[in-house]
Structure 1
């Protein structure tokens, strides 16, 4: 909400400075987000009248002007503006004036000088030179009645300030200058100038028939016909200035009047070209297939969930949001129909977002507009039209279908004191409500308030507590320390924080990325194999239409972005939430019914395995085993098991599932060649994605004494089938008892002859394993060593069908 200070003071003028008013509004719950002057500082710029303008003798594009600035003599000023002519009044900077700073940040001083041999005793200014607007097409032409010689700042009220309020959705009653003034009066006690709307006597009896067929859409509809309107009339400068202070540019007189009343009293209205309406108006819900071309030039299709105003032929307006192009007023319009209505907030909410635009009218109607003042505001609009554009007003029609019933709300004074945190009395509560113009009655410590029609935010007791607190003053609330003891909650040793995981991956050379949780539907289908993702009802962009169930697509997008900018080595990771449909999930404080939202950690490696350095030769591209080592380091000291697996995004033969404690917690592998080609990657990328909860867990260290004797190493060669994996072999070895002497087992060689060899069949391979054995107190004997090795061999034979190679 933006408005000029002078307009606010026209309704309520407390004896406070501009900054003090801003502070009062902020402490009253209406945060002043910005406060700036209407114009930057400049001095000695006055109203000048050009008496004569002749061609410069030495320059084709310059004119020599004789300017009256009220000093008793004419000033000789050289000007190059195309609209410099006799008879107009323009801003004139006198010698010694300082204009707003230029690009160098320094004020521009006006000095006596010569231009092409002709003396110039000042400067005629454009709006851009005074930093009033970006218009630099010519001199700023002032009103014909502007007093010559008077300061321009005073004539144009340039010492005014513009307030910008950041209002919360419950403050619909403050979405107007009068609404803010009403709040300022309550906060300061300054008197409020209440407007009076005198009825306009009708000059003819023409009426437009209106049918209200949807009382759940429109509760009240008021309007009247005005004939013989001059739509080419010029908007008064005072109205243009006030609209500019609200951030609204002048369009035409009729449009400006409608916007002016909306900013003044929060009442959106619409003006139809009456001659373009076919028959009667029908206020109803839309019908499937109906189309409407709006004033912004776009064509939309409505349905049964969108309210419209239609005539006997077509839809003419989007109810409470924007009018249609077919009945828009133009320079040829002679007769108009002025409409003001009460649209139910529930019938307007969310409709603008369906069509990817928003309007000031919709912004107000979806929060609630006073239904009791449609007639008064029609009278106000009518009076402004007659004063500015002329015309003949007809009788006013007012149809009431159903209005909101404002139920009384009760406030317990004792509870208000507990919630606010300071003692408040019944008298203070009644005084606060009286200042806010809220009808209230007290009975035995309970105050009953009947909300007025413009207060849609007063529904429960807490709403009244807030009103009392802000009128009493937030700055008066005492600072009270909490009574509850504060006990530090130490994180368990068996968990690592997200920060610790981020730091570990950063130490491994990865850089963190943060991406949107909504992604392209194709990513979910191709990279996650998710045919039914969680779809967004109102995506911020058409390509971001679903919630992600995997982080891999986001990482690939970041990789492609970097490769397009000549990056040759990329290591990235992300910690984020994913979203999957799960009917077993119920709604709680942290969950949404039907959607499982676990946290995942994913990483991607691309390019050389190691960066370029002088100490070693450049290595090849990163491969599966490089990233596997990073994942093992991330999960350490827990030992993950990697099993061959499949994933829609990964290479079928270079993909592994990650298991911890018998449960799959993630996936690791090289990007599928199909997607590598689709993303136009010059080399394969290796990716992993694991459940963050599994990565956060770690065993608490259990310390053991250091052995006092040296260990013993024995190498064995085991013949197994080709389908026996490393994990199967290690599981069998560590499952052997070995008398409790086995410390470590390490595979250091794999032998697979091209042709059948002695002791090896065509479907067999030889695995060389080094066993490390040792006791705690004494050196092992040969018998102990042989028994331990034999137990391992026996276990291998039972588990995987292996035998000792001869």
Structure 2
């Protein structure tokens, strides 16, 4: 919220400087996000009146003006502005004036100049030249009553400061200048000047029939007819200026009056063109199929979740959000209907986002607007309409006020002892009572208890803690004592068999990956394609249509990161994420760290794309493949030895995907991206990915001492021919079970040979291998408690070869 300091001080003027006032508001929970002067520094600019303006003899676009600045002699000034004419008062920079810096950042000094042979003793200024706005269409015209020779900074109140507040949703009562002033009065003890709002007498009996069909939408509806107004009147300069300093442009006098009262008192209102309303008004919920053309030029489709104001023919307005174009006031408007209502916050909240726009009215009503002041605010609007748009024929009807369902004020109690304990400083009952009284609350005192009946404009008072917060706010957070905590500190020791996520992050980073942090809500298409999840957990209020569901896998997030980098010509990408996923699980119960019906485990996932290594002279370039990532997964799980078995995953290549098992339990998948998804994402090559449950990865085996073998190990190499379908894991398991575990120290596959085939699929040259066979060269490392004999070694090798032949049809390669 933005407003000028001068307007605030009209309601409450504490003896504080601008910065002290900003600090006071910030420390009271109303963060002053920015302090900005209305105008940059400049000097020597006064009010001047053009007494004569004649055409320059040598320039079509220049005029020679005689300007009166209240001195004995008129100033001769050459001006090129199109609106330079006799009789207007404008800013005049005299010789020696310092104007705001230009594009070069240096102040602009006014000197005696000569334009096309005519001397100029000053400069007539536009709003842009004084850095007051971007309007460079002509001279800035001042009010006719501005005194000649007066400093323009004083005339236009340019030494004012704009306050920009960043308010939390519970401070709806501060969404107006008067609301902020009310807080300043409570904080500083300075008197609060109540707005002087009188009652406008009705001189006709005309009323508009209004029916409130939805009391759960509208709790109070007030309105008044005003006839024969002048909509073509000019909005006063003071109102235009205040609206501009609140960030609101001037539209028309009737619209400006409505906006002005909203910024002044916090109540959005609407002024209808009475002649465009068919019959009476009906305040109700919309019906499916209805449409409404809005004031912003858009047309929206309505449903039963949206409140509207309708007449007998059509919908005229979105309740509490925006008026409709059909009944908007215009230059031809003669009779108006002024409306001020109380809309229930729950009936307005989120509706603007449904239509993808936000309004000042919706921002206020969804937080809560005072329901008690609708009639008073109509009186204020009526008085401004009469003052600005009134004519001798203007007449007003009585205020029609309907209250079908007003909010009820529920008393809230504050225990003084509880407040002192929560705030952490000694407080007396008198102190707490004074604070609540300064806030304008009705206080009933008893022993250690203060009972408050909150005013209806304070929608944030419901609990004892709300009152405790007010006491801390008004007493001042700066008054809280610095008290060190008195509590035993007991460190939580992590089990030795479990490592921390931080250690895991460092280990993955050491493998060349970079960590990413992504949103937990993702595109619904990712869930359907990458996880086959047809019923994802939907968000009730997504921040965008592409982030509408909760993720059940980290892979989509990593692919999106890869897509972003690949589109920017990144050739080598290795990223990982440790994050939470969200699954439906009816067995989960509510607790401090869980939500009933939803399982939220953590996972670790990684992705590699592009060359396996950076460019270097000693290694031939090759792209990363399945086995590179398989090795990374083995490194993460070490010293535990994972088992990889062929599997299928919706996101991965059917023939290049493996399930990861640790101690017989599946913990995740590793594989290459499915060709279909590689094509749809537009990747030049397939990235390789893994996704593992986090808990199994964090577990590790505790190191155990093993003595170094006293005898040398023996190595024997064998080359066996097997069918192409046989994988190394099967061979390794067979070898391990064929001999005593104490004898076999290690098994290493160091070569795989396949025969070359010609174009017809036949052997290119005769050899010991047939089509569909491969040769696997395996190194056996044997050792024992004693030195092995040749007989023991040969027996072990022979047993291994026999078992390979029996189980897999393997034979020794000739």
TM-score for the superposition, normalised by structure 2: 0.94
Q: Are the equivalent residues in 2 in contact too, given 1:732–1:800 (CA < 8 A)? A: no
Deviation string, structure 1 residues 602-656 (Cα, Å, up to 9, x no partner): 333333332222334x323322222322332333333222221222232222222
Q: Are the equivalent residues in 2 in contact too, given 1:225–1:335 (CA < 8 A)? A: yes
What is residue 63 of structure 1 aligned with on the other side?
A: 63
Work out the CA distance in 1 between the residues paired with 2:740 and 2:684.
50
What is residue 89 of structure 1 aligned with on the other side?
A: 89
Work out the CA distance in 2 between the residues paired with 1:345 and 1:562.
43
Helix, strand or coil for the counterpart of 2:52? strand
What is residue 505 of structure 2 aligned with on the other side?
A: 502
What is residue 621 of structure 1 aligned with on the other side?
A: 623
Aligned partner of 1:423 among 412, 419, 426: 426
Question: Is 1:78 matched up with 2:78?
Answer: yes
TM-score for the superposition, normalised by structure 1: 0.95
What is residue 542 of structure 1 aligned with on the other side?
A: 545
Q: Which of 61-70 and 694-703 deviates more?
A: 694-703
Deviation string, structure 1 residues 437-475 (Cα, Å, up to 9, x no partner): 111111111111111121111111111111111222211
Cα 1:799–1:410 change in 2 (3 A) is farther
Work out the CA distance in 2 between the residues paired with 1:345 and 1:252.
29
Deviation string, structure 1 residues 243-301 (Cα, Å, up to 9, x no partner): 12211111111111111111111111110000000001111111221111111122122
The CA deviation at 1:766 is 4.9
Q: Are the equivalent residues in 2 in contact too, given 1:78–1:118 (CA < 8 A)? A: yes
What is residue 585 of structure 1 aligned with on the other side?
A: 588
The CA deviation at 1:379 is 0.6
Question: Is 1:293 matched up with 2:296?
Answer: no
Helix, strand or coil for the counterpart of 2:571? coil
The CA deviation at 1:747 is 1.8
Q: Which of 677-686 and 316-325 deviates more?
A: 677-686
Deviation string, structure 1 residues 665-694 (Cα, Å, up to 9, x no partner): 222222222233323333333232223333
Work out the CA distance in 2 between the residues paired with 1:334 and 1:183.
40
Matches within 5 A, 1:20-39: 20-39=20-39
What is residue 652 of structure 1 aligned with on the other side?
A: 654
Helix, strand or coil for the counterpart of 2:234? coil
Question: Is 1:598 matched up with 2:606?
Answer: no
The CA deviation at 1:598 is 2.9
What is residue 112 of structure 1 aligned with on the other side?
A: 112
What is residue 277 of structure 1 aligned with on the other side?
A: 277
Aligned partner of 2:686 among 670, 684, 687: 684
Helix, strand or coil for the counterpart of 1:14? coil
What is residue 793 of structure 2 aligned with on the other side?
A: 785
Aligned partner of 2:411 among 408, 421, 426: 408
Q: Are the equivalent residues in 2 in contact too, given 1:498–1:696 (CA < 8 A)? A: yes
Matches within 5 A, 1:145-294: 145-294=145-294
The CA deviation at 1:91 is 1.2
Work out the CA distance in 1 between the residues paired with 2:456 and 2:649.
60
Q: Are the equivalent residues in 2 in contact too, given 1:735–1:795 (CA < 8 A)? A: no
The CA deviation at 1:795 is 6.2
What is residue 333 of structure 1 aligned with on the other side?
A: 333
Work out the CA distance in 1 between the residues paired with 2:788 and 2:60.
111
Work out the CA distance in 2 between the residues paired with 1:455 and 1:557.
45
Work out the CA distance in 2 between the residues paired with 1:558 and 1:523.
13
CA RMSD, Structure 1 to Structure 2 (Å): 2.4
Q: Which of 399-408 and 76-85 deviates more?
A: 76-85
Question: Is 1:16 matched up with 2:16?
Answer: yes
Work out the CA distance in 2 between the residues paired with 1:637 and 1:472.
59
Deviation string, structure 1 residues 537-558 (Cα, Å, up to 9, x no partner): 3333333333333333333333
The CA deviation at 1:114 is 1.9
Work out the CA distance in 1 between the residues paired with 2:303 and 2:649.
42
Cα 1:760–1:219 change in 2 (3 A) is same
Aligned partner of 2:696 among 694, 697, 706: 694
Q: Which of 743-752 and 161-170 deviates more?
A: 743-752
Deviation string, structure 1 residues 703-735 (Cα, Å, up to 9, x no partner): 323223321112334565554321122223334
Alignment gaps of 5+ in structure 1: none
Helix, strand or coil for the counterpart of 1:611? coil
Q: Which of 159-168 and 632-641 deviates more?
A: 632-641
Question: Is 1:314 matched up with 2:300?
Answer: no
Cα 1:296–1:416 change in 2 (3 A) is same
What is residue 453 of structure 1 aligned with on the other side?
A: 456
The CA deviation at 1:477 is 0.8
What is residue 555 of structure 1 aligned with on the other side?
A: 558
Work out the CA distance in 1 between the residues paired with 2:599 and 2:105.
56
Deviation string, structure 1 residues 562-582 (Cα, Å, up to 9, x no partner): 333333333333333333333
Question: Is 1:775 matched up with 2:784?
Answer: yes
Helix, strand or coil for the counterpart of 1:119? strand
What is residue 745 of structure 1 aligned with on the other side?
A: 747
Work out the CA distance in 2 between the residues paired with 1:692 and 1:803.
42
Aligned partner of 2:614 among 600, 611, 619: 611
Helix, strand or coil for the counterpart of 1:133? coil
What is residue 50 of structure 1 aligned with on the other side?
A: 50
Cα 1:759–1:310 change in 2 (3 A) is same
Q: Which of 177-186 and 628-637 deviates more?
A: 628-637
Work out the CA distance in 2 between the residues paired with 1:498 and 1:134.
54
Work out the CA distance in 2 between the residues paired with 1:92 and 1:760.
102
Deviation string, structure 1 residues 12-33 (Cα, Å, up to 9, x no partner): 1111111111121122221211
Q: Are the equivalent residues in 2 in contact too, given 1:354–1:538 (CA < 8 A)? A: no
Work out the CA distance in 2 between the residues paired with 1:466 and 1:553.
43
Question: Is 1:356 matched up with 2:364?
Answer: no
Work out the CA distance in 1 between the residues paired with 2:134 and 2:179.
31
Deviation string, structure 1 residues 109-164 (Cα, Å, up to 9, x no partner): 22222222222211211111211111112211111111111111100101111111
Q: Are the equivalent residues in 2 in contact too, given 1:211–1:281 (CA < 8 A)? A: yes
Helix, strand or coil for the counterpart of 2:459? coil
What is residue 470 of structure 1 aligned with on the other side?
A: 473
Cα 1:110–1:622 change in 2 (3 A) is same
Q: Are the equivalent residues in 2 in contact too, given 1:127–1:140 (CA < 8 A)? A: yes
Cα 1:499–1:137 change in 2 (3 A) is farther
Question: Is 1:632 matched up with 2:610?
Answer: no
Cα 1:758–1:84 change in 2 (3 A) is closer
The CA deviation at 1:762 is 7.6
Aligned partner of 1:730 among 732, 740, 743: 732
Work out the CA distance in 1 between the residues paired with 2:783 and 2:148.
107
Cα 1:464–1:559 change in 2 (3 A) is closer
Deviation string, structure 1 residues 167-211 (Cα, Å, up to 9, x no partner): 111111111111111111111111111124221111211110111
Q: Which of 643-652 and 186-195 deviates more?
A: 643-652
Helix, strand or coil for the counterpart of 2:488? coil
Work out the CA distance in 2 between the residues paired with 1:558 and 1:610.
20
Work out the CA distance in 1 between the residues paired with 2:471 and 2:194.
23
Helix, strand or coil for the counterpart of 1:700? coil
The CA deviation at 1:737 is 5.4
Give the paired residue count.
Answer: 804
Deviation string, structure 1 residues 302-350 (Cα, Å, up to 9, x no partner): 2222211111111111111111111111111110000111111121122
Q: Are the equivalent residues in 2 in contact too, given 1:738–1:792 (CA < 8 A)? A: no
Q: Are the equivalent residues in 2 in contact too, given 1:670–1:685 (CA < 8 A)? A: yes
